[in-house]
Chain A
């Protein structure tokens, strides 16, 4: 099967999903008594302004990182549903560590990144250890760890990490000093976050590790056929632990583009929520491939930003979540459907090749 054909099969799922989701949303908008076409017009006007386009890219960065974190586990059928809790706890602790300004300048930035990755890895690691030693299902364990993480982060914020400007009721961690921020670059007066470069590097790193290393091979093998992988000498327990730790470390970075890129450069109660759960959607839409996840992240970020446009049209902004959910649901169905088609097609091609071989041989003899 040619490369073009394979890409076609890969794109068909998300493509169908987007079309169906937009049709459904048109029906919902019409039911609310509003013209869907004028709504989409407003959405396009709203999201194509320079400031909003920069914002779409910025907000796609954490989503992409979340997609990476989720994808590492999903590659081997290990479901880290706890990315949400991992990144929020990591962001809280890393923000406090950075705010303490223990190190000068970019060394502080480095410290923030390391702390965040460590916290994420430890939190995910708990689920990994429970799975390996006590056979606790990682889905349930990571979900429970989410709720524990939310409460723990909340407690840390209100106790050891508490920082309050006099006269203000807003509680946050101590803001990270500006020497540690990652300078973005301006486009029409809007800053593109500096963490973009690190995100791209992490994406390339993910691709290389998964596709070009022994570890990546073992990871994919464990996901596709755990029994066969075990038989060929892959240590299943070690793989589970390693995948969990890497997934958690990547999850730890999710909050950093925001912390290092935008005000208030601190963790507070209004810190972005839900990126971890949306990361699952981004990973699945991107079929666990980095380039696919870039587009998945941009799509979800675009939808998030277009909430403002829906509000302008008098629609409840939560319509966006319905849209995101619909896209994800239809995409996974369409994906499975296309995958089966692809397998059939590949089998046909292989069968045709096998049939043509003997006749080739006989021709040579003759």
Chain B
């Protein structure tokens, strides 16, 4: 009988613990202790901020009674409102713990860029017999076709506001 009661109590204790851990307050407690990844969006309620503040106050007071300070009711609200009026921050992400990984990626990116440039540029510097220069392809002008196009365009749009002038070398005014 004692075993059954003890087992029941143990089960209830475990159930109680699980219930606590599922609650917001329990999550905040773990976030404060850096024992779980914080989700700041879950704290964006008056109650969430109040619990966050009170738990920190308890820790402060346990460490030093001099920190048993209660700011005026409006200090936090004043600061929060002042921050709201500030322009939003747009800052590059902190390198932090991923600094080395990023440095490695940057090095790889630089190496890849150098290789790509070399791959494109190398044929221009190659002078060996194996390299046969291709015949240059010139853009072919078709003056008659071009003039026909301009004439047709003028027929449709009329004379534009841009004045057309001609220039003859050596001509004097």
Q: Do A and B bind each other?
A: no
